[in-house]
Amino acid sequence: MSWHIAALQQLVNGLALGSVYALIALGYTMVYGIIKLINFAHGEIYMLGAYFGFYALTLLNLSLLPAMLLSMAAAALVGVLLERVAYRPLRNSPRISVLITAIGASLLFQSTAQLVFGASFKPFPQAMPFRRIQLGPVFITNRQLLIFGVAVLLMILLHVLVTYTKFGKAMRAVARDKEAALLMGINVDRIISATFALGSALAATAGILVGMYYNRIDPYMGMMPGLKAFVAAVLGGIGMVPGAVLGGLLMGVAENLVVTLGSSTLRDAVAFAVLIVVLLFRPTGLLGKKGIEKV
């Protein structure tokens, strides 16, 4: 196989991985947009989502769609509780305190998962038979198609929700100015809770999709994708929904291209190199607008 076909193949793989990043990045971006917090525990919610899906498929013997919905609901609940217990009391504290709390929450989820679900990986049940489809010179698997399909569908739903519904309007208002939104009669606490629920549900879906894609889940699976999805959100412009999607896709493609070009161990460094370059030269991200700092 000549290198450009290999590259094309990696582009397809990259887009699949990238749409997973995008799903996770959406949660980061929405939460950051609304309370200016890097929710470090978001990667762990994605991991929990995968486990919820796992148990829904194996213990409860559900089929894929109900399992996914159940996992989304459970993850949403965890996200809301997390905000309620750990973040809300600190809403007026220095941002560093909240960030440290978020790191703590992330560690807590990880070690609890390790204790409850076991430290070793679990094979993820295959909810659909594996199939490979030839598309011109490259192959695409039905799982990759599923990832694309689900990711795009959820993104469209989210876009409609944020842009056209009253809830979306309220959410954007809270992101702009919490106090003003409060004065306009918006229940800010409820909007923030809903944002966490929404972001967590998306992350849970991503968890299940990745579980199916790689056939395995483990308590640490949230760490790297979580960080990378955050990078993706920053890359696209944090706080912006289209930015997260763009950043996620770019990130997935970039990583897979690096794998084609050479070392697969360098793959993890790509994300962070991208991050540092973006932060240095375009801290507001690709789609972000420049803000004026007030003196």
Partner 1 sequence: MVKPRLTGLIKIILLLCIYGVVRLLESRGLLLPYHVQVLSLCCINVILVVSLNLINGFTGQFSIGHAGFLAIGAYLSAFLTVKMHVPFLAAILCGGLLAGLAGLAVGLPALRLRGDYLAIATLGFGEIIRVIILNMEAVGGAKGFSGIPKYTTFGIAYLTAIITVVVIRNFVHSDYGRACLAVREDEIAAESLGVNSTYFKVLAFALGAFFAGTAGALFSHYLQYMAPTPSQIGFVKSIDILIMLVLGGLGSLTGSVIAAVVLTIIPELLRGFAEYRMIIYPILLIVVMLYLPAGLMAGRELSLDSLARLCKGVKSSAHYS
Q: Which is nearer to partner 1, 101 or 205 (CB)?
A: 101
Which x/- pattern, by CB under 8 A, does the window 37-66 give for partner 1?
A: xx----------------------------
Q: Which is nearer to partner 1, 56 or 98 (CB)?
A: 98
Would you count residue 275 as binding partner 1 (CB under 8 A)? Answer: yes
Would you count residue 107 as binding partner 1 (CB under 8 A)? Answer: yes
Q: Which of 86, 145, 182, 286 binds partner 1 (CB under 8 A)?
A: 86
Q: Which is nearer to partner 1, 66 or 118 (CB)?
A: 118
CB of 108 to partner 1, least distance (A): 4
Q: Which is nearer to partner 1, 44 or 140 (CB)?
A: 44
Which x/- pattern, by CB under 8 A, does the window 169-208 give for partner 1?
A: ----------------------------------------
Q: Which is nearer to partner 1, 156 or 276 (CB)?
A: 276
DSSP-based three-state secondary structure for 256: helix
Would you count residue 80 as binding partner 1 (CB under 8 A)? Answer: no
- The CA distance from 142 to 126, in Å, is 12
- The CA distance from 32 to 87, in Å, is 13
Site for partner 1 in 151-170 (CB under 8 A): none
Q: Which helix (H) or strand (E) holds 119?
A: none
Q: Which of 104, 123, 137, 149 binds partner 1 (CB under 8 A)?
A: 104
Would you count residue 100 as binding partner 1 (CB under 8 A)? Answer: yes
Q: Which is nearer to partner 1, 112 or 163 (CB)?
A: 112
- The CA distance from 196 to 203, in Å, is 10
User: Is beta strand 138-141 parallel, antiparallel or unpaired with respect to 132-135?
Assistant: antiparallel
CB of 103 to partner 1, least distance (A): 6
CB of 217 to partner 1, least distance (A): 18
Residues with Cβ < 8 Å from 123, sequence gap 6 or more? 215, 216
> How many Cβ atoms from other residues are within 10 Å of residue 105's Cβ?
21
Would you count residue 223 as binding partner 1 (CB under 8 A)? Answer: yes
Residues with Cβ < 8 Å from 193, sequence gap 6 or more? 80, 83, 84
CB 127 within 8 A of CB 64: yes
> How many Cβ atoms from other residues are within 10 Å of residue 16's Cβ?
25
* Residue 172: both structure tokens together: 């954007």
DSSP-based three-state secondary structure for 15: helix
CB 188 within 8 A of CB 173: no
Q: Which is nearer to partner 1, 82 or 140 (CB)?
A: 82
First-to-last CA distance in the chain? 58
Query: Taken in order 109, 112, 114, 118, is the CA torsion positive or negative?
Result: negative
* Residue 134: both structure tokens together: 């030839």
Q: Which of 191, 206, 271, 287 binds partner 1 (CB under 8 A)?
A: 271
User: Would you tell me which residues interact with partner 1 (CB under 8 A)?
Assistant: 37-38, 86, 89-90, 93-101, 103-108, 110-112, 114-115, 223, 227, 230-231, 234, 263, 265-266, 268-269, 271-273, 275-276, 279-280, 283, 295
